[in-house]
Amino acid sequence: MNKATKIITTTLLAAITAISVSCSKKQDTGIKKITTKSGIEMILLPGGEFTMGGGTSADSKPHRVKISSFYIDKYEVTQEMFKKLELPSASHFKGDKKPVEMSSWVSAAIYCNERSIEEGLTPCYDEKTWKCNYEANGYRLPTEAEWEFAARGKTEGEHFFGNDMKKLANYAIYRKNSGNETSTVGSRKPNPFGLYDIYGNVAEWCNDYYAADYYSNSPSVNPKGPKKGKGRVVRGGSWNDNEGSVSSYTRSYDESLNDACILRDTIGFRCVRRAD
C-alpha cells in the first residue's frame, strides 16, 4: 500500500466510524427491555411530552401532557401469568399464551399486588379502599395518559402506523380478523415502542376513573384521572370491536369493577411500574 492509498483508506475508515457513531446516537431512544424477577418482559419508556386526545368526540379534547418514565409490560397479561401466581382466571377463551379476560378491575389490581409481592416489591393498591399508592415501587395499572403515551409510540394522529387502515390487521386483532375470539399474545406486529397488542385482542383496564369532561381540566403533568367516575377507563379496543374503536385516543369505560355478573371476555390488562 503506497502513501496516497493509505491516506485515502484511513480517511474512509474515519468517515465510516463517524457515521456509525452518529447512527448509534440517533437510535438511542431511551427505550430499554428488561426481564423481571418473575420472568416477565417489560419495556422502559423514557417519558416525555405529547398531545393526548384527538378526533371529534367531546370527551377526547386534544391537550398537551407530560409523562414521567415508566416500565410497561411488553405483552398483555396472559392466563399463564395468572396461574404462576395461583390466581383464579375465569377467561372464556382458554390458552396459556392468550390474554386474561373476564377480569374485573379489582381482579386486575389484585394481580398487580400479588406480582409485586412475588418480586419483593411494595404493592401499590390498598385492598380495602383500592386507592393506588403511586410512590410504591410495585406494579399497578397504567394511568390513561401513560397508556396513550405508550400506544402512540411518539407518533401523532389516530393510529401509530399512519392513515392506511389496510395496515390495521398487521397490528391488531379486531372484529374483522379475530374469528370471534382472542389470539395468542404477540401474534401481530408491535408498535414503535415494541409493545404488542396495544390495539385490539383485549381492551385494557387503566387505573383512572372515567369522566367525559376530564380532559378539559386535567393536570398537564402525570394526570391520574378524576377522584370518582362512572367506571374505570378501558383503552385499545378488543377482538370484538370494529376499527373505529381501535386507536390511540378512543376512550371507553366499564363499570364491572368487582361484579362477577357483568364480566366481559373483551377486557384484559397489562401492568406498569415506576422507573425512578
Residue type, 219: P
Residue 181: partners with Cβ closer than 8 Å, 6 or more residues away: 93, 239
Domain boundaries along the sequence of the chain: 1-30, 31-274
Per residue in 93-112, pLDDT (tens digit) is 999 999 999 999 999 999 99
pTM of the model: 0.89
In a 10 Å sphere around its CB, with 0-12 CB exposed, 13-18 middle and 19+ buried, how is residue 4 labelled?
exposed
Rg of the Cα atoms in the chain: 21
pLDDT (mean) for 182-209: 98
Q: Quote the pLDDT of residue 260.
A: 64
More confident of the two residues 19 and 232: 232
Tens-place pLDDT, residues 35-58: 999 999 999 999 899 999 998 888
Nearest 5°: phi and psi at 156? -110, 170
Q: Which has the higher per-residue pLDDT, 88 or 29?
A: 88
Average pLDDT across the chain, whole number: 90
SS3 120: coil
For the cut 80, the answer to whether the pLDDT of residue 267 exceeds it is yes
Residue 199's identity, in one-letter code, is: Y
Domain 31-274 has CATH 3.90.1580.10: yes
Least confident of 19-28, 65-74, 203-212, 252-261: 19-28
Query: 49 has which bridge partners?
Result: 66
Provide the total of helices (H) and of strands (E) in the chain, helices listed first. 5, 11
| Res 14 pLDDT > 80 | no
Percent of the chain residues topping a pLDDT of 70? 88
**130-155 per-position pLDDT tens digit:** 999 999 999 999 999 999 999 999 99
Find out whether 98 and 68 touch, Cβ atoms under 8 Å.
Answer: no
Alpha-carbon distance 72 to 272, whole Å?
4
